[in-house]
Amino acid sequence: MNVMSKASVAGFIIGFICFPIIVFGGGYLYYNFFLDDFDSGRGLNPPELPVEESVNLDWVVKSLDGVEVNLRDYAQGKTLFLNFWATWCPPCVAEMPSIEKLYSQFGDSLAFVCVSQESAAMLKEFMKEKKYSVPVFYADTPSPQELSAAALPSTFIIASDGKILLKHVGAADWAHESVIAFFRDNAPRG
């Protein structure tokens, strides 16, 4: 009994060729057309504010130049905007323009930290290509338990006394007027 016919071999070869084209082509179209709306901030909802827990920020991350930075010292006296993200994560990339916009408005009064576990070289290239200036760091050690989240992106707004004012999992419009008003009116600043 002949298990492999010419038609089944041809079908296998055609499927082998078409499958990556369909999967990667669909991913390309999704990224370039669907996520294009997110690049301008359209399609993202603002985060829910506020939430209150506490965290010990005695955690060391590294700048893209390899300099160790203790978050407790970095954010001393300021509210901390802490975002966990990755360059390969479409929702992370989608919310980055709104984070950059928030940073341009509050970079002097808030401590901004965007943390990834990717290599410094990859992060530098991404930031240069996108022309973002928000501070990006990478982590070699696990974050404090209070800052753990099941998905990327995850963002925490932490008051100068260590209280977590917000924990948001998923992409958000960080330049939304409700977020701007929150930082202007309610967030403790240094």
Model confidence at 169, pLDDT cuts 50, 70, 90, reads very high
Model confidence at 31, pLDDT cuts 50, 70, 90, reads low
* Least confidently predicted of 48-52, 110-114, 150-154, 177-181: 48-52
Model confidence at 13, pLDDT cuts 50, 70, 90, reads confident
Residue pair 156/138 in contact by the 8 Å Cβ criterion: no
Instruction: Name 138's bridge partners.
Output: 62, 116
What is the predicted pLDDT for the residue at 106? 95
What is the predicted pLDDT for the residue at 67? 96
* Distance of alpha carbon 85 from alpha carbon 91, whole angstroms: 9
Q: Does residue 29 carry a pLDDT above 60?
A: no
Between 54 and 31, residue with greater pLDDT: 54
Which of 73, 77, 57, 52 has its CA nearest to residue 188? 77
Q: Which two tokens stand for residue 173?
A: 């419009």
Residue pair 115/46 in contact by the 8 Å Cβ criterion: no
Model confidence at 190, pLDDT cuts 50, 70, 90, reads very low
What's the mean per-residue pLDDT of the chain?
85
What is the predicted pLDDT for the residue at 124? 97
Model confidence at 26, pLDDT cuts 50, 70, 90, reads low
What is the predicted pLDDT for the residue at 104? 96
Q: Does residue 92 carry a pLDDT above 80?
A: yes
* Distance of alpha carbon 166 from alpha carbon 164, whole angstroms: 6
Using H for helix, E for strand and C for coil, what is the string for the chain? Answer: CCCCCHHHHHHHHHHHHHHHHHHHHHHHHHHHHHCHHHHCCCCCCCCCCCCCEECCCCCEEEECCCCEEEHHHHCCCCEEEEEECCCCCHHHHHHHHHHHHHHHHHCCCEEEEEEECCCHHHHHHHHHHHCCCCCEEECCCCCCHHHCCCCCCEEEEECCCCEEEEEEECCCCCCCHHHHHHHHHCCCCC
